[in-house]
Amino acid sequence: MSARREFEVAVVGLGGLGSSALYRAAKRVGAGALGLERFELGHERGASQDHSRLIRLSYHTPQYVRFAQDAYAAWAEVEEEAGERIILRTGGIDLYPASAPNWHEDYTRSLDEVGIGYEWMDAGEAMRRWPQWRLEDDVRVMFQEATGIVAAARANSAHRRLAERAGATLVDSARVTEVREAGGVYELVTERGTFRAERLILTADAWTNELLEQLWRPINLTVTQEQVHYYASRDVEAFRPDRFPVWIWMGVPSFYGFPVFGEEGAKIGEDVGGDEVTGDTRSFDPDTGYAARLDAFMQEHLPDGFGPYLKRKTCLYTMTPDRDFVIDLVPGHERAVVGQGAAHAMKFASVYGRSLVELAFDGTARSDISAWGIDREVLTMEDAPKSFYV
Ligand SMILES: Cc1cc2nc3c(=O)[nH]c(=O)nc-3n(C[C@H](O)[C@H](O)[C@H](O)COP(=O)(O)OP(=O)(O)OC[C@H]3O[C@@H](n4cnc5c(N)ncnc54)[C@H](O)[C@@H]3O)c2cc1C
C-alpha cells in the first residue's frame, strides 16, 4: 500500500459505480486519485459482482434512454482502453403478459422521443423466432436490438485496473468509519489509517447512509436480498447468446434472464423479489420461496433452459422509494458527491462514474442527470410512498 495519505479526490466504495468513478478520476488527476474499499476488491457482499447484468436502451423515461446511450458510448471507451470486450449485444425482448400494467406506453413513448427503433410481435411470432419460449397467446413481445449483457465482474476489474494504470491508489480492507470536512479537506478515518482528500465521491450503495449521515443526513433507502439461479439447462446449445436474447417479463412479479454467459447454463432472476435486510444482516443462503418462483417460471416458460442448479447467488438491491438514481452534490458541500444506483445502475456504470467525477470537479456533468437530484422530497420525507417497478 502506498504511504501517501493526501489526495485530490477519494472514492469510497469500489463496486461497479465506484470502480468506474475511480477510473475516470485517475484519468483526470492520475496519482491524485484514491479508492477505498471496506472488503476485498471484487468481493461478493455488494451489488455488482456477477458474470452478467442487463444493458438496454429500452427504459421508461427519455432521460434514462439518453443516459443509456451515453453509457454504451462510455463502455466503448473502456473496452478500447482495456483491450477487452465488456458489452455483448444479444438483442432483448420485453414480454408483456395480458395482466401486465400499461408500462409499455412509457417505454415506447420514451424510445420514440429519442428516436430509437423497436419491433412488436405477438406470442406466435416470438416463439417462431425463439422456440425456447412457451407463451400464452395474449403475451405481446417488444424486441430492441441494442439490448445485451454487461460483463459486470469483468467490467469492474477493468475499471480498477485502468485506474491503477493511470496512477490511482487502491486500498482494500479499509472501511471508512468516519468522514468529516476540516479546513476544506475531507478526512477519512479507516481501519487502515486516516486519509485526506480535497474532493469526495461516495459510492457505498447498501451502506450509503452510514457515510451520508455524517456529512448531511440519511436518505430513504430500502435494501433487499435478491437471488439469481443458473441452471444446467437441458438444451444448453439453444441458450447460447447467438440464439437466445436477454429478456424481461414485464408482469407483476417481474422476472428477467440471460443466455449462457459465464456459467454453462441459462440464468434467471426476479426484480424486487426478496426480503428486506441491511448490508450487515443479509445472509448468503438462497430463499426457498424465491427459488420456487424462479424454478416455476423456468418450467412453465423456458422448459429446456431448466435443469439442476449450476449455481445460486444472493445479491443486494438498494433502492430509493421512487427507484430513481441519486447523482448529486451532498447538500452543503461543493466538492462531495453521492451516487446511489437504485438497483438498476450496473448498465450505466461507465457513464455514472464519469458523471460523478465531473460533478465533483466541475459542479456539472456532460450527461443530463437533472432528474436524479438529492433534493427529491421522497428521499427524505417520512413514510415515503414506494414504487419499485421500473
Ligand atoms: C441480482 C441483481 C441483479 C441486477 N441486475 C441488474 C441489471 O440487469 N442491470 C443493471 O443495470 N443493474 C442491475 N442490478 C443493479 C446493479 O448491479 C447495482 O445498481 C450496481 O451494481 C450498484 O453498484 P454500486 O457500486 O453502487 O454498489 P456495490 O457494488 O455494492 O458497491 C458498493 C461498495 O461500497 C463498499 N463500501 C460500503 N461502505 C464502505 C465504507 N464505509 N468504506 C469503504 N467501502 C465501503 C462496499 O463494500 C461495496 O464494495 C442488479 C443487482 C442485483 C443485486
Tell which one of 40, 44, 48 to mutate to probe ligand 1, the residue whose CB is within 8 A of the most ligand atoms.
Answer: 48
The number of angstroms, rounded, from the C-alpha of 135 to the middle of its chain's C-alpha atoms is 29
Centre of ligand 1 to C-alpha 344, Å, is 9
Residues 6+ apart with CB under 8 A from 165: none
97: phi then psi, degrees, rounded to nearest 5: -70, 165
Centre of ligand 1 to C-alpha 48, Å, is 4
Query: Beta strands of 203-341 (E only): which ranges?
Result: 222-231, 246-249, 254-258, 267-271, 309-319, 326-329, 336-340
The response to whether residue 228 sits with its C-beta less than 6 Å from ligand 1 reads: yes
Centre of ligand 1 to C-alpha 61, Å, is 22
The response to whether residue 390 sits with its C-beta less than 6 Å from ligand 1 reads: no
- List the grid coordinates of 4: 501517501
Question: What is the pLDDT at residue 389?
Answer: 74
Give the closest residue to 15 by CA, choosing from 266, 149, 201.
Answer: 201
Residue type (1 letter), 224:
T
pLDDT per residue as tens, the chain (390 positions): 557 899 999 999 999 999 999 999 999 999 999 999 999 999 999 999 999 999 999 999 999 999 999 999 999 999 999 999 999 999 999 999 999 888 889 999 999 999 999 999 999 999 999 999 999 999 999 999 999 999 999 999 999 999 999 999 999 999 999 999 988 899 999 989 999 999 999 999 999 999 999 999 999 999 999 999 999 999 999 999 999 999 999 999 999 999 999 999 999 999 999 999 999 999 999 999 999 999 999 999 999 999 999 999 999 999 999 999 999 999 999 999 999 999 999 999 999 999 999 999 999 999 999 999 999 999 999 999 998 876
- pTM equals 0.98
The response to whether residue 226 sits with its C-beta less than 6 Å from ligand 1 reads: yes
Question: What is the pLDDT at residue 301?
Answer: 98
Question: What is the pLDDT at residue 2?
Answer: 58
